[in-house]
């Protein structure tokens, strides 16, 4: 299947502009996240209580918020799942290690007193203490860093050169930082689902980069006299149909997940939607230009592709 026949786009012609754009987005994201409250952590990481409450009739969110605010100021109230199920999600920050269930009890008692006209028929809670939340946060960061590190080693060994592994790792780090920035901009919480999505994107982005780099290595063997920049650009064009089909179908799937997956999967779906777009972009405008820059700095990128091929094979 061939969507575009013999494409010949100059992907690397405007590399500088796209690299500058990426740097601006990353700096803006880091600046926003460094502010107090810039990153919103879910109950899993910040500690606290997540309470799902089912009412007899269709709940009035404003009335519930007023009732909960009296016993737990600053709580987050939002509809949950299908509206016909009459469920509301209540997130309470902080937790008392001495009595973890106390915040949930106070909320249920407050609803029973202040919103008695629509009684609670069922409830479930998820409680995470602050110590556990901090430990989960530390392990999530460690897991992401280790994932990047071991992928760098694998690609370096598989491709026989540090430049390829480093380029892929930098592209993945770019994807994670940009995606985190968008999560902060749009006020999505960092939850275990979001961490799972970020780790999925790490693998997905690296896979996309490896496919293009592998095609570039084949061209380096076949056309040793061509400049490395031209060979990488040809590799991007020759794998373009595969990129459009693979990434395009994945994007449509995760877009549907984001739009129709419900409140619980909202953060996961948003992370995947942004990550698929950013991961595809970074292979073209971050990973590939880095290889060219590395070869130029090391003195192997000027002239023909023969010297570059020798370093890459």
What would the pLDDT profile of 168-213 be if each residue is shown by its tens digit? 889 988 999 999 999 999 988 888 888 889 888 888 888 888 889 8
The token duo for 70 is 């009296």
Radius of gyration of the chain (CA): 24
Q: Does domain 11-40+132-312 have CATH number 3.30.70.20?
A: no
Contact (Cβ atoms closer than 8 angstroms) between residue 266 and residue 188: yes
**CATH top-level class for 48-128?**
alpha beta
What percent of the chain is helix, strand and coil (3-state, nearest 5)?
A: 70, 10, 20
Provide the whole-model pTM.
0.78
User: pLDDT digit string (tens) for 115-165?
Assistant: 889 989 988 887 766 566 677 778 877 877 887 788 777 777 777 667 888
Residue intervals in the chain for CATH 1.20.1640.10: 11-40+132-312
Distance CA 14, CA 18 (A): 7
Distance CA 119, CA 117 (A): 6
Contact (Cβ atoms closer than 8 angstroms) between residue 165 and residue 294: no
Distance CA 30, CA 34 (A): 6
Q: How are beta strands 87-93 and 189-190 bridged, if at all?
A: unpaired
Q: How are beta strands 87-93 and 76-79 bridged, if at all?
A: antiparallel
List Cβ neighbours of 20 (8 Å cut-off, separation of 6 or more). Answer: none
Residue intervals in the chain for CATH 3.30.70.3400: 48-128
The token duo for 49 is 């209580």
């Amino acid at each position: 299947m061939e969507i575009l026949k013999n494409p010949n786009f100059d992907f690397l012609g405007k590399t500088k502009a796209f690299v500058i754009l990426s740097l601006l987005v990353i700096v803006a994201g880091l600046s926003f996240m460094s502010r107090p409250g810039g990153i919103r952590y879910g109950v899993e990481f910040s500690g606290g209580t997540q309470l799902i409450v089912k009412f007899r009739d269709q709940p009035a969110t404003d009335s519930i918020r007023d009732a909960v605010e009296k016993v737990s100021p600053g709580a987050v109230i939002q509809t949950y799942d299908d509206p016909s199920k009459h469920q509301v999600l209540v997130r309470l920050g902080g937790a008392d290690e001495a009595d973890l269930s106390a915040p949930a009890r106070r909320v249920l008692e407050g609803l029973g007193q202040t919103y008695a006209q629509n009684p609670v028929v069922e409830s479930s809670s998820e409680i995470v203490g602050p110590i556990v939340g901090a430990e989960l946060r530390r392990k999530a960061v460690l897991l992401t860093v280790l994932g990047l590190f071991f992928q760098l080693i694998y690609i370096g060994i598989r491709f026989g050169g540090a430049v390829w592994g480093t380029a892929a790792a930098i592209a993945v780090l770019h994807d994670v930082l940009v995606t985190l920035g968008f999560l902060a901009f749009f006020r999505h919480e960092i939850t275990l689902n979001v961490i799972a999505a970020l780790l999925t994107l790490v693998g997905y982005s690296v896979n996309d980069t490896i496919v293009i780099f592998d095609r570039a290595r084949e061209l380096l063997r076949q056309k040793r006299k061509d400049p490395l920049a031209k060979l990488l650009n040809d590799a991007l064009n020759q794998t373009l149909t595969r990129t459009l089909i693979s990434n395009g179908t994945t994007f449509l799937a995760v877009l549907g997940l984001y739009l129709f997956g419900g409140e619980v999967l909202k953060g996961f779906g948003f992370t995947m939607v942004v990550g698929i777009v950013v991961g595809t972009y970074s292979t073209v405008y971050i990973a590939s230009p880095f290889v060219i820059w590395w070869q130029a700095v090391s003195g192997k990128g000027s002239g023909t592709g023969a010297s570059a091929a020798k370093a890459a094979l």
